[in-house]
Chains A and B, each alone.
Chain A
Amino acid sequence: MSQLQTRFFTDNKKYSVDDVPFSIPAASEVQELSNVINKLLEAKNGSHSQIEFDFLVRGQFLRTSLSNHMEAEGISTEDVVEIEYVERFTAPQPEECMMHDDWISSVEADSEWILTGSYDKTARIWSLEGKAVMTVAGHTDVVKDVAWVRRDGLTSLLLTASLDQTILLWEWNSERNKLKARHCCRGHAGSVDTIATDPTRTKFCSGSWDKMLKIWSAVATEEEEEVEEPPSRPRKKQKTEQLGLTRTPLMTLSGHNEAVSSVLWLDSEEICSASWDHTIRLWDAETGSVKTTLTGSKVFNHISYSPLCRRLASGSTDRHVRLWDPRSKDGSLVLLSLTSHSGWVTAVKWAPSHEHQLVSGSLDNLVKLWDTRSCKTPLYDVSAHEDKVLCVDWTDSRLMLSGGADNKLYTYRYTACETDAGA
C-alpha cells in the first residue's frame, strides 16, 4: 500500500511533536495515527500515558481511512499532508436520570441548579446531582418554557412560561428554599412557547402562538404597574386569585405570520426569533423593527446561537440541523446542514465553551452530539430516551442535559479538551 507524507501539528503544547514529515501508510485510520502520535510522545517523554487523539485534515475530522478521506475531499496525495490532532472528545457518560411526573417540555441549567418545565403544569428545580429541590407550581396549564434570570447570592429569579398565556417571574431563595411568585406577565393571546433572558439580565423576551414577541422587564419590583393597564379589561376580575403582581410588556414585536417557536438574544440589542412561518427574524430590541429575515423551507422548532463561532443553529420539522450566519446580508444562506436524525429536530443547543460542538434532540428519541468539523456524522449518538426528546441544554460545569416525553431528564458528563475550553 502506498505511503503518504504527513506532518502532524497541534495547538496543545503538552502534546506537540517535532515538525518533521512522516511517512504513513495511506490506509491507516484514526487508531493507527493515534498510536503513532503516542509512540512519538513516549519517545519524547517517558512518563507519557496513552491518550486517544482525533485527527483533522484541512479542518475536517478523519472518520475513514486517510486515503479514502483525501479522495472524498479531493486533496492531492502528492504533497505533504498537514494533519492536526486534538485530544479525543470522550463519549458523554450518563450520570443522573431525574424522573418527572409528566413530559418535560424545557430545561435550563445554570452553574448550580437545573430548572425544568413539565407538562404537569409545574416547573422543578434540581440540583446538579439530581436531587429535586423545589417544585414551582402556579400555572394553570402546561409549562412550555423556563429560564433563569439572575442570581444574587442565594436568591435567584426565574421565569416560567405556560400554555395558560402567562409568564410567571419567581423569586427563589435556595438557602431557605422559599419560593415566591413576584410577577405575572400577561398580554399574550396564545400559549407562550418560548422565553429568553437578555444578556444584561434585566429584560426578557417571550414568543407566543399568537405570532407576537413581547419584551418584558425582568426586574422584580414591589410597585403595582396596574396604571398602564386599561381598567376595562375583563381579566381584572380574576386578579384576586393571581400570583404576584401583574406586569405588562414593555414592547411588542409583531411581524411573524405564524406562531413563534423559539426566541433568543444575540446580544443586548438584538433578538432573534424562529417561527412556524418558515422564517428566522432578527429584531432590533430598541426600536422593535425587523433587521434581517432568514427564510427557510420548513417550520422552525428551535434555534440556538453561539457567540463563540457566531453561528445560528436551527432545528426544523425535517431531519436537518442547519447552521446560519445571522450577519449575512444576502438573506437565506445555510452554511451547513447536519443530517443524521430521522425525525423532526426539536431542540438544538451550542456548547457553551466549544465553538464547534452542538447538541440536538429529535423526535426519533436520539440526542446527538455534533462537531461542525464533521458534518456527515455526529460525534456521538446518545440513545438514553425511550420517547421523543423535547429539550436539550449544556452547563458550564461539564454536563449535558436532555429531557423528553418519557418523563426523564438525563444528565451526561463530558470532558472538554483543555485546548478547546475557552477557544
Chain B
Amino acid sequence: MMRLSVSRPEKLYSTPITDIRNTVGNVPMEWYQDYPHIGYNLDGKKIFKPIRNKDELDEFLDKMENPDYWRTVHDKTTASDIRLTDEQVDLVHRLQKGQFGDVNFNEYEPSVDFFTNEVMIHPVTNRPQDKRSFIPSLIEKEKVSKLVHAIKMGWIKPRKPKETTPQYYDLWAKEDPNAILGRHKMHVPAPKMRLPGHEESYNPPPEYLLTEEERLVWEQQDAEDRKLPFLPQKHSCLRAVPAFSRFIHERFERCLDLYLCPRQRKMRVNVNPEDLIPKLPKPKDLQPFPTTMSLVYRGHTSLVRSISASPTGQWLVSGSDDFTVRFWEVNTGRCMKTLEVGGAVKSVAWNPNPAVCLVAVERTVLLLNPSLGDRLVVSSTDQLITAYEPPEEDKEQAVTWALSEGLEHNMGHRLTLTHPKAVKQVVWHGKGDYLSSVMPDNSSNLQVLIHQVSKRRTQNPFRKNKGLVQCVSFHPLRPYFFVATQRYVRVYNLIKQELTKKLMTNCKWISSMAIHPGGDNLICGSYDCRLAWFDLDLSTKPYKMLRHHKKALRGVAYHRNYPLFASGADDGSVIVCHGMVYNDLLQNPLIVPVKVLKGHQITHDLGVLDVTFHPTQPWVFSSGADTTIRLFT
C-alpha cells in the first residue's frame, strides 16, 4: 500500500469534488479512534468516519477485482479512499526515480559565458594604481627590523637545518614477548637426541656386551631403573641384523619427550658476585696490626700450653708440658730464666700490677717472683708477700697456702697454693691482689676459687654447680666476674653476689674467653671453630659469629690499646681481626679480619694453644704444640 505523505497535491486536486478538508492539523489520528468523528471541516462541522464494513475478504476481493486498486490510497485524515489521477501517478514515478517533479524543468541548460577568459587590451577598470603600492611599507619595515634585532640578540634562533640522515628505530624494540613474533624470538630448540654409542652397534666391542649375570639383573630391573633401555647384541654381519623392534616405541618416547618437556627460558638473575661481598675497608687502612713472623722463642721441649706478657712488655712467660716455666726477653727471643715446677704447666698469668707471675701447675698454683725488671718492684713484691701476718683464728680453707723457702725461694717460688683438684686456668684481677683459679669438675660446686694474695684467703664464690666451668675472667674495671661453662657465659656481680647476665654463645663448647679492656665487649672461642663477639650492652646473643678457623679455637686475646683481637686454633694459624667500637651508638661496630698468621706446625693435631698481645705494641705472641712461641709483628 502506498501512502502519500504529501497532502497538498491531494487537497489541490480534491477540492473541486468535495471539500472535506480536515482542520485538526497534523495530529496523530489515533487520538480520534474512540470518537465517531475524525475531525472538523472548514465550516467547523464534524467529519464523521465513513461507515467501513469492509473486512479482509472484501479487501482481498477488491484487490483482485478493482483495476484501480493499485492507484487507490487511503487518506487517514478523512478516512476515505482516493483514487490517484494519471498525473499524480506520473509524479510519483518521477519522484521515485529521483527526477524533478516538474516535467518541464531542464537541468542541463547550456551555460552562458558572462566573463570571457581572454585578456582584453583594455582594463576592466581604469583606476590608476595606488602610491602605496610603489613605496615600501613602513609597518613591514618596522616588523622586519624587529625580527632582525631579535635574531641579532639571539632571541630568535634560526631554524635548525633538517637532518639529512635518515633516522631508524627498532621496530621490534617494544615487542610484547607474548605476541606471536615474540614467541618466535624466545624459541628454544628441542633438545637433541643422544647419538648412538658403541653399545648400539650391531657388532659392539665385547666389553659392551652384558654378561649373563648382568643380563639377568637387567631383566629383573624396572624399565625406569635400567641404565640401558635395550640389550646390546652382537651380530655376525649386517645382513643378520633384524628389523629394529623398538622403533615405534622409541619414536613414541621421543614425541613424548618433546611434548612434555618444559620449554621455558630460565631468567638468570644477573648478579655481580662482587656485589654480594659485604663492603669492608681494606686491611691496609686498618694498620697497624701484626703481619709477619719476627721472632721464634725456642727452648721448650714439649707443647707450650700458655703464655703471658709482662705489663711493661719487656718479658714474656710461658708454661709448658715439659714441667718448666720460662721467662723470655721479648725483643731478642732470649730465654732469661727457666724454672722447674715439677708438673705440667697448664696456665700462666703475669700479674698486671707488680712483678709477680702466677703459674698453675697440676693441683698447685705457684706464685713466682721472676726477679726481672725493676729491682724496686721485685723487692716490694717480696715485701708484700712476707708482710703477711696470720690471723688469730685459723679458718678452714679450700686450699693450703705454703710459703716457699730455701732453694725454692732462690729459684723464685714465693707461695704455693695446693688445690684439691687439677687446676686448669688461673687469672688475675686487674688490681693484682685477687686471683682466680679454675678446677673443672662436673660433679661438685668447687670449681672456681678466688684467692686474695695479701691476706692469703681463699673463698669459693659459688654454692651450686651450674655446669663444667671452662674459664673465668675478671671485669677489667667493674666488680664483675665472668664464668664460661660449656655453652654459656654467666656474668656475676661480685658485690651484690648475684647473677647479672647470662650470655648465650650459640657454641657447642667454649674453649677460651677474653674481655675487652674497656669491659664492653667479650669474645669467646669455641671448639666448634667459632668465635663469638659480644656487645655486653646490646644483647645476650653474639653480635657477630666469626667462622674463619678450620679447626677448634684454643685461645683468644684482646689488645690493650689497639682495636685488635686475635684467635689461635688447631689449624696452626692465628687470625687477627680489627674490632673497632665507636662511641657513636648509631654506628655499628666494625669487625674485619685483617690477617691470617701462619707459622706453627701442627703436632699431634694441635696447632696454636694460646695467643696473647704485647701490652704496648701491635704485636701478637702465639704458643704452639710444636714447642715454640712465635712473635708476629
User: CB within 8 Å of A: which of B308-327?
Assistant: 312-314
Q: Is B539 an interface residue (CB 8 A)?
A: no
- CB pair A190 B373 closer than 8 Å: yes
- CB pair B617 A299 closer than 8 Å: yes
List the B side residues contacting A318 at CB < 8 Å: 633
Q: Flag B348-376 by CB within 8 Å of A: 1 or 0 each.
A: 00000000000000000000000001111
Given the contacts A103-B334, A189-B374, A317-B633, A276 and B294 also touching, CB distance less than 8 Å = no
- CB pair A297 B288 closer than 8 Å: yes
In the bound complex, how far is the Cα of B374 from the Cα of A359, in angstroms? Answer: 33
B616 contact from A142, A258, A388, Cβ within 8 A: A258
Q: Is A390 an interface residue (CB 8 A)?
A: yes
User: CB within 8 Å of B: which of A140-184?
Assistant: 142, 164-165
Q: Is A343 an interface residue (CB 8 A)?
A: yes
List the A side residues contacting B295 at CB < 8 Å: 344, 363
List the B side residues contacting A388 at CB < 8 Å: 332-333
List the B side residues contacting A405 at CB < 8 Å: 332-334
In the bound complex, how far is the Cα of B374 from the Cα of A105, in angstroms? Answer: 20
Q: Is A259 an interface residue (CB 8 A)?
A: yes
User: CB within 8 Å of B: which of A308-322?
Assistant: 317-318
List the B side residues contacting A299 at CB < 8 Å: 617
- CB pair A390 B374 closer than 8 Å: no
- CB pair B617 A390 closer than 8 Å: no
Could you say which interface size class chain A belongs to?
20 to 34
- CB pair A276 B617 closer than 8 Å: yes
Which of B288, B373, B379 has most chain A Cβ within 10 Å? B373
List the B side residues contacting A164 at CB < 8 Å: 375
- CB pair B314 A189 closer than 8 Å: no
- CB pair B374 A165 closer than 8 Å: yes
Given the contacts A317-B294, A363-B294, A209 and B314 also touching, CB distance less than 8 Å = yes
- CB pair A344 B288 closer than 8 Å: no
In the bound complex, how far is the Cα of B295 from the Cα of A52, in angstroms? Answer: 40
In the bound complex, how far is the Cα of B295 from the Cα of A390, in angstroms? Answer: 13
- CB pair B633 A165 closer than 8 Å: no
- CB pair B616 A276 closer than 8 Å: yes
CB distance from B309 to the nearest CB of A (A): 14
Q: Flag A184-195 by CB within 8 Å of B: 1 or 0 each.
A: 000001110000
In the bound complex, how far is the Cα of B373 from the Cα of A189, in angstroms? Answer: 8
Select from chain B the residue with minimum beta-carbon distance to A103. B334
Select from chain B the residue with minimum beta-carbon distance to A119. B334
Q: Is the contact region of chain A dominated by helix, strand, or loop, or is it mixed?
A: loop
In the bound complex, how far is the Cα of B376 from the Cα of A405, in angstroms? Answer: 30
User: CB within 8 Å of A: which of B414-470?
Assistant: none
Q: Is A210 an interface residue (CB 8 A)?
A: yes
User: CB within 8 Å of B: which of A61-108?
Assistant: 103
User: CB within 8 Å of A: which of B574-633?
Assistant: 616-617, 633
In the bound complex, how far is the Cα of B332 from the Cα of A299, in angstroms? Answer: 13
List the A side residues contacting B617 at CB < 8 Å: 276, 299, 317
Select from chain B the residue with minimum beta-carbon distance to A344. B294
In the bound complex, how far is the Cα of B333 from the Cα of A363, in angstroms? Answer: 10
List the B side residues contacting A276 at CB < 8 Å: 313, 616-617
In the bound complex, how far is the Cα of B332 from the Cα of A103, in angstroms? Answer: 10
- CB pair B294 A210 closer than 8 Å: no
List the B side residues contacting A297 at CB < 8 Å: 288
Tally inter-chain residue pairs, CB-CB below 8 A: 47
User: CB within 8 Å of B: which of A280-331?
Assistant: 297-299, 301, 317-318
List the B side residues contacting A119 at CB < 8 Å: 334
- CB pair A189 B376 closer than 8 Å: yes
Which of B288, B295, B375, B633 has most chain A Cβ within 10 Å? B375
Select from chain B the residue with minimum beta-carbon distance to A234. B379
In the bound complex, how far is the Cα of B331 from the Cα of A259, in angstroms? Answer: 11
Given the contacts A103-B334, A209-B314, A343 and B294 also touching, CB distance less than 8 Å = yes
List the A side residues contacting B312 at CB < 8 Å: 190, 209
Select from chain A the residue with minimum beta-carbon distance to B287. A297
List the A side residues contacting B314 at CB < 8 Å: 190-191, 209, 259
B374 contact from A210, A234, A363, Cβ within 8 A: A210
CB distance from B472 to the nearest CB of A (A): 32
In the bound complex, how far is the Cα of B315 from the Cα of A190, in angstroms? Answer: 12
User: CB within 8 Å of B: which of A256-291?
Assistant: 258-259, 276
List the B side residues contacting A191 at CB < 8 Å: 314, 373
CB distance from B378 to the nearest CB of A (A): 10
- CB pair A390 B633 closer than 8 Å: no
User: CB within 8 Å of B: which of A206-239?
Assistant: 209-210, 234
- CB pair A390 B332 closer than 8 Å: yes
In the bound complex, how far is the Cα of B331 from the Cα of A142, in angstroms? Answer: 14
List the B side residues contacting A317 at CB < 8 Å: 294, 617, 633
In the bound complex, how far is the Cα of B377 from the Cα of A165, in angstroms? Answer: 12
List the B side residues contacting A298 at CB < 8 Å: 633
Select from chain B the residue with minimum beta-carbon distance to A390. B332
User: CB within 8 Å of B: which of A354-402?
Assistant: 363, 388, 390
CB distance from A386 to the nearest CB of B (A): 13
List the A side residues contacting B633 at CB < 8 Å: 298, 317-318, 344
List the B side residues contacting A103 at CB < 8 Å: 332, 334
CB distance from B315 to the nearest CB of A (A): 10
List the B side residues contacting A301 at CB < 8 Å: 331
List the A side residues contacting B332 at CB < 8 Å: 103, 388, 390, 405
List the B side residues contacting A343 at CB < 8 Å: 294
List the B side residues contacting A363 at CB < 8 Å: 294-295
Select from chain B the residue with minimum beta-carbon distance to A188. B374
CB distance from B617 to the nearest CB of A (A): 6
- CB pair A165 B288 closer than 8 Å: no
- CB pair B375 A165 closer than 8 Å: yes
CB distance from B180 to the nearest CB of A (A): 66
Q: Flag B500-540 by CB within 8 Å of A: 1 or 0 each.
A: 00000000000000000000000000000000000000000
In the bound complex, how far is the Cα of B375 from the Cα of A204, in angstroms? Answer: 23
Select from chain A the residue with minimum beta-carbon distance to B333. A388
Select from chain A the residue with minimum beta-carbon distance to B377. A189
Q: Flag A339-360 by CB within 8 Å of B: 1 or 0 each.
A: 0000110000000000000000
CB distance from A212 to the nearest CB of B (A): 12
List the B side residues contacting A390 at CB < 8 Å: 332
CB distance from A145 to the nearest CB of B (A): 13
In the bound complex, how far is the Cα of B616 from the Cα of A191, in angstroms? Answer: 17
In the bound complex, how far is the Cα of B334 from the Cα of A234, in angstroms? Answer: 31
CB distance from B384 to the nearest CB of A (A): 15
List the B side residues contacting A165 at CB < 8 Å: 374-375
List the B side residues contacting A259 at CB < 8 Å: 314
List the B side residues contacting A189 at CB < 8 Å: 374-376
Select from chain B the residue with minimum beta-carbon distance to A165. B375
In the bound complex, how far is the Cα of B90 from the Cα of A64, in angstroms? Answer: 129
CB distance from A220 to the nearest CB of B (A): 25
- CB pair A190 B294 closer than 8 Å: no
CB distance from A335 to the nearest CB of B (A): 22
In the bound complex, how far is the Cα of B331 from the Cα of A301, in angstroms? Answer: 9
In the bound complex, how far is the Cα of B376 from the Cα of A259, in angstroms? Answer: 18
In the bound complex, how far is the Cα of B616 from the Cα of A19, in angstroms? Answer: 60
CB distance from B327 to the nearest CB of A (A): 12
In the bound complex, how far is the Cα of B295 from the Cα of A234, in angstroms? Answer: 38
Select from chain A the residue with minimum beta-carbon distance to B376. A189
In the bound complex, how far is the Cα of B295 from the Cα of A344, in angstroms? Answer: 9
In the bound complex, how far is the Cα of B616 from the Cα of A390, in angstroms? Answer: 23
CB distance from B561 to the nearest CB of A (A): 11
**Can you give 9 A-B contacts (C-beta < 8 A)?**
A189-B374, A190-B373, A298-B633, A301-B331, A317-B294, A318-B633, A344-B295, A363-B295, A388-B333
A191-B314, A258-B616, A363-B294 given; name 19 further pairs at CB < 8 Å.
A103-B332, A103-B334, A142-B334, A164-B375, A165-B374, A165-B375, A190-B312, A190-B373, A209-B312, A210-B374, A276-B313, A297-B288, A299-B617, A317-B294, A344-B295, A344-B633, A363-B295, A388-B332, A405-B332
A binding-site residues for B, Cβ under 8 Å: 103, 119, 142, 164-165, 189-191, 209-210, 234, 258-259, 276, 297-299, 301, 317-318, 343-344, 363, 388, 390, 405
> What 6 pairs across the A-B complex have the smallest Cβ distances?
A189-B374, A317-B633, A344-B294, A190-B374, A209-B314, A165-B375
